[in-house]
Amino acid sequence: MDATSIKNLQEVVARTESELYTLMMPGFDAARTPVKTWVVEITDVLHGTPWLLICNSLIKSAFDRAGTPLAGRYFAIRSGDIVAGKRYRHIDIIELELVAS
């Protein structure tokens, strides 16, 4: 499964396939020192593509607030611009509910 971030996806309608967990991934420093990174397995429901979504603190916080179990739920996630004067990207996360027709 390929790893990606919301910066790369831009926007996705996702089904979470796992709970949040941590992996050691290469860091951003020159030595690429491994760092503990929060991730969640998702499926892009519009394209059927599985991803390992790298979660920044905003995404992790939103998933934490959504509660458990996380797996099997649907979310729309959209990446925004870097907030002026700050070091983070605006991200919209909305939990979706399936409705029987």
Domain containing residue 88 = 3-96
CB-based contact 25:3 (threshold 8 Å): yes
Instruction: Choose between 57 and 72: higher pLDDT.
Output: 72
Whether 62 and 13 have beta carbons less than 8 Å apart is answered as: no
For 1-30, the pLDDT digits (tens) are: 899 999 999 999 999 999 999 999 888 788
Q: Let me know if residue 101 belongs to a domain.
A: no
Q: How many other CB atoms are found less than 10 A from the CB of residue 29?
A: 8
**Can you tell me the mean pLDDT for 40-58?**
95
Nearest CA to 19 among 57, 55, 56? Answer: 55
Residue 55 — very low, low, confident or very high, per pLDDT cuts 50/70/90? very high
Cβ count near 75 (within 10 Å):
21
Task: Flag whether 56 is in a domain.
Answer: yes
Task: Give the model's pLDDT for residue 84.
Answer: 85
Could you give the number of structural domains in the chain? 1
